[in-house]
A and B are shown apart, each in its own frame.
Chain A
């Protein structure tokens, strides 16, 4: 009897341990948010949360694409440069074509199309050279990181191109969906900040990627490719196509983020997004996706994004300088990877 109870207890403790390990990121995030909410005035407010969303949605959008890439066992370091390039291309096309008398909306649409086509081409090239030519994706995308950055500088002539976008383009990045008065009245509060458009884009891309990874054969093929490309290939899975899809999706998401950041500041600049690639990869890894591929959750990535956002927001509210924030972000990532390494050790 006593023995049995003891066994049960041990068993439950083990189960709890595994649960805590599996959901370590959620647990730590909740604890962190509680601590900030209790100690920092202004943290748990609607306005502050809308701020966090506005500041982190752009990288978040890319992070979902990056989750697909990393689960497939790949990496894309070039997304930051794509962010810059896409904004610059649209600005340049708007400026030059509308100067030639073209309708601004048409010119902007053309710029958007060019950016997206370029992203598709870049993603396809990444897939081609990493799969067919056998080059490491790290190197292939490092090349594009440099080349696309340089291209952005060339297109923009080395200076930001400001105030060329039509208004609707700026709204995409900087605008908010207003909260209707009847709703705030219903809640009994005064007028509050609207929801930033990038947050809406974040939610939509999350849903799309969540669906792809969890409910389609493409998602299954991505997990298989990252898990063991040779086994996947010998099971008749099109590994090449799978890799190309991942590379293209993350590039398109980087283009979207590029549109939004340019819209927010009403200018395209080659200096945008320079270090975003590593931030995005960090968020994905903190979210529990395995860097060696084959394992990961899209849900984890959104937690990783919020985590990074909350830390930098909380520390800013607490008046820590930016350098301290970098140190803390580094430590958080270290901890997250340590936990997931430990988890895969105890699991097997």
Chain B
């Protein structure tokens, strides 16, 4: 089998205001699983996009063996044999496995689809992947890892030279990961360059042959997996991070506002217990899929909870729903502001007043004056940048949209705020503003639970951090006495 090498030479990618990739030279060879790791924003997805032809480098070249490649779009990269498998699945649930693999290129005979050949071809490919999946099975009947394998098989059907797998285990349960790994090992034997993007370090010893680490757009290094320790990779990922410290004048008061006792939801989280004091910001650290978002939604009554007791200021809340919880003084800024936090086709003014609708009205008649003053107050206090309060939320930047979501809740004068990934997808200065708002609320005595994937943020913002792993609270750390490497290590431990 021919040896293949995909090589990037001095790749730099500039976006307005930031340099996403800085002079990266790296190579990946066939017959190996090449892991590419780095925390969010390290540039790993930008690099993958350049290989896949989804974006062009500002400078630098890509070589496959010694052939210099230039892509104008992903279709051209495909023709050169570079394919990528993304987290969002491109499969169609209602079609068979074989149809999904050969969609748009089904073999024809006498003007009709040659099903026999279709199933035979699919079956051959699946055998190469060493999986036992029936090509005639309808896709939605498969389990998640099997679907992921079908996705990879589809990529393999293009006879690629390079396959890039972007976080392929992110949607999988623990026991499914091993099955997927077996398939990826089979893929490695096909003489394809396999690039495996992940942020789950615990997977690396099992699946990776080499590891390349990116940090802040630079290549920190490429190492053989069997010659490196877990700790070293963490060190490479984070370097020496200076954590900004939170203002000293936010005092946790000695007054319990919320008690979560034995919260469980089948398949998501088990036996979660914690207390929250007035003015406290409690962080929950955990990887994607650890159950943190579901826990917040459970507390807020947005999703059902199987078991558990919730006490707010000593009062027991059974069968919670958002309507009740808002009245109890809770607020939730949801994980996805566009689909859960805002009504994008409505104005900034309206979006600032939905949660406080009852407060701003006289009975069921709206008090326009009061409503406007509530909306204007938040625009001023949160520094929402807009020339027109009647502009649609569609038109705002991510940071300003997040401020509107916050403002919607602050108008209810909440006692407890649940912040789910409030800084996702917004720029650095907006992030800092969001944290300032959270601190300002804490000073007023608002207690908060803060969930984030960004560990630095948790260390910066919180008084206390709980570690959640596979739906359980497994540890608690004091951010003043923990550095990021330790925190990351604790989050990853045990798998």
Contact = CB atoms under 8 A, between A and B. Distances in A.
A217 B345 contact: no
Interface stretch (B73-81, B140-148, B334-342): B334-342
Interface in A46-101: none
Contacts of A348: 392, 394-395
Interface string B360-402: 0100111000000000000000000000000010110000000
Contacts of B340: 230-231, 234
A71 to B, nearest CB: 11
A228 to B, nearest CB: 4
B130 interface: no
A348 B366 CA distance: 28
B409 to A, nearest CB: 9
Interface in A202-237: 215-221, 223-224, 227-228, 230-237
Contacts of B339: 228, 230-231
A65 B302 CA distance: 30
B302 A233 contact: yes
A294 interface: yes
Interface stretch (B253-261, B324-332, B448-456): B324-332
A238 interface: yes
Given A217-B366, A221-B357, A235 B344 contact: no
B341 A238 contact: no
Contacts of A215: 365-366
Contact of A232 (B300, B334, B343, B395): B343
Contact of B364 (A217, A223, A236, A294): A217
Interface in B298-336: 300, 302, 322-323, 325-327, 332, 334
B354 interface: yes
A142 interface: no
Nearest to B344: A228
A346 B188 CA distance: 50
A228 B325 CA distance: 20
Nearest to B366: A215
A230 to B, nearest CB: 5
Contact of A236 (B325, B345, B366): B325
A72 to B, nearest CB: 13
A216 B341 contact: no
Nearest to A230: B340
Contacts of B323: 236-238
Given A215-B365, A220-B357, A235-B408, A227 B302 contact: no
Contact of A216 (B334, B343, B350, B366): B366
Interface string A337-348: 000000000011
A224 B356 CA distance: 13
A215 B357 CA distance: 12
A340 to B, nearest CB: 13
A24 interface: no
B359 to A, nearest CB: 10
Contacts of A234: 300, 302, 322, 332, 334, 340-341
The size bracket of the interface on B is 20 to 34
Nearest to A238: B323
B346 interface: yes
Most B CB atoms within 10 A — which of A219, A227, A232, A235?
A235
Contacts of B332: 234
A158 to B, nearest CB: 43
Contact of A231 (B327, B342, B361, B392): B342
Contacts of B361: 216-217
A295 interface: yes
A237 B354 CA distance: 8
Contacts of B344: 227-228
B358 interface: yes
Interface in B216-239: none
B295 interface: no
Interface string A282-309: 0000000000001100000000000000
Contacts of B327: 236
B322 A294 contact: no
A295 B300 CA distance: 28
Most B CB atoms within 10 A — which of A219, A227, A238?
A227
A238 B346 CA distance: 18
Contacts of A237: 323, 354, 357
Contact of B322 (A221, A233, A295): A233
A236 B366 CA distance: 17
A236 B326 contact: yes
B8 interface: no
A347 B393 CA distance: 12
Nearest to B353: A220
A230 B408 CA distance: 15
B6 interface: no
Interface string B408-430: 10000000000000000000000
A294 B355 contact: no
Contacts of B408: 235
Contacts of A228: 339, 342-345
Interface in B95-118: none
Most B CB atoms within 10 A — which of A216, A228, A237?
A228
Interface in A229-288: 230-238
Nearest to A223: B346
A224 B392 contact: no
Contact of A295 (B325, B326, B345): B345
A283 to B, nearest CB: 22
Contact of A227 (B322, B343, B358): B343
A228 B341 CA distance: 9
Contacts of B355: 235-236
A146 to B, nearest CB: 28
A223 B323 CA distance: 17
B179 to A, nearest CB: 32
Instruction: Give the 10 A-B CB pairs with smallest separation, nearest first.
Output: A236-B326, A227-B343, A235-B354, A235-B355, A228-B343, A217-B361, A217-B364, A236-B322, A236-B323, A227-B346
22 contacts: A216-B364, A217-B357, A217-B361, A219-B366, A220-B350, A220-B354, A220-B366, A221-B357, A224-B350, A227-B343, A227-B344, A228-B342, A228-B344, A228-B345, A231-B341, A235-B354, A235-B355, A235-B357, A235-B408, A237-B354, A237-B357, A294-B346
Interface of A: 215-221, 223-224, 227-228, 230-238, 294-295, 347-348
Given A221-B357, A348-B392, 20 more contacts: A216-B364, A217-B364, A219-B366, A228-B344, A228-B345, A230-B340, A231-B341, A232-B354, A233-B302, A234-B322, A234-B340, A235-B355, A236-B322, A236-B325, A236-B326, A236-B327, A236-B355, A237-B357, A238-B323, A347-B392
Interface of B: 300, 302, 322-323, 325-327, 332, 334, 339-346, 350, 354-355, 357-358, 361, 364-366, 392, 394-395, 408
